[in-house]
Amino acid sequence: MAFLGKCAIHASNPRIWRKLINFGLHLNPCGTTMIARSKKNHICTVVQNGSFFNATEDEISEGVHDCEDNDELFFALAALRDDSDIHQWFIYDNRHWNDEDPQRFWFICKRESIEDDMCYDAMYADCEKATEAELKVHFNDGDDDPVIKNLQ
């Protein structure tokens, strides 16, 4: 497995850890045990190199995106990988050819391959895996669509 996501969230709890394990990430054995975050204890969950661990805010290394409290962005970045499509965000966009009912929407792939997840055989041809940059814009700034942004 080749996980690509490098991210951190300002929380550490069983819900986060279960979801990361469900993605296929592993708890780093060198990391600390789960500790509750408090005013004195600024513990974050960090995903890096296919594993996750606890660290303080000061210990988040350069190159790791700090999602702060944005768990949607954190999980989207944590799921990024190059050997499978499961748990990753995709953008369906058929506006370049469909004049009657153009559509553009985001969705999470539920299977190993996007081709297996689409209900129509050729529908996946209009899908692209969301990039790290697109995910950051989508979950921080709202609509990332350049067509819509130009209309605003």
Instruction: For residue range 67-109, list pLDDT tens digits in order.
Output: 999 999 999 999 999 999 999 999 888 777 777 777 778 889 9
How confident is the prediction for the chain on average, in pLDDT?
A: 83
pLDDT of 33 over the 90 cut: no
Q: Answer whether residue 131 is part of any domain.
A: yes
Last residue of a domain, one of 27, 53, 78: 78
Instruction: Let me know: does 112 contact 85? Beta carbons within 8 Å.
Output: yes
Count up the domains in the chain and report the number. Answer: 2
Q: Is residue 139 located within the same domain as residue 114?
A: yes
Span of 15-19, 31-35, 42-46, 148-152 with lowest mean pLDDT: 148-152
Instruction: Let me know: does 123 contact 117? Beta carbons within 8 Å.
Output: no
Q: Answer whether residue 93 is part of any domain.
A: yes
C-alpha span between 92 and 97 (Å, rounded): 13
The range of the structural domain enclosing residue 38 comes to 7-78
Q: Provide the pLDDT for residue 56.
A: 86
Phi, psi angle pair for 27, to nearest 5°: -70, 125
Q: Answer whether residue 30 is part of any domain.
A: yes
CA atoms within a 13 Å half-sphere pointing along the CA-CB vector of 125: 7
Q: Is residue 13 located within the same domain as residue 56?
A: yes
Instruction: For residue range 125-151, list pLDDT tens digits in order.
Output: 678 899 999 999 889 876 656 554 543
Higher pLDDT, 120 or 106: 106
pLDDT of 27 over the 50 cut: yes
Span of 20-24, 30-34, 97-101 with lowest mean pLDDT: 30-34
Q: Provide the pLDDT for residue 22.
A: 96
Can you give the pTM of this predicted structure? 0.82
Q: Is residue 72 located within the same domain as residue 48?
A: yes
C-alpha span between 37 and 12 (Å, rounded): 7
Higher pLDDT, 1 or 83: 83
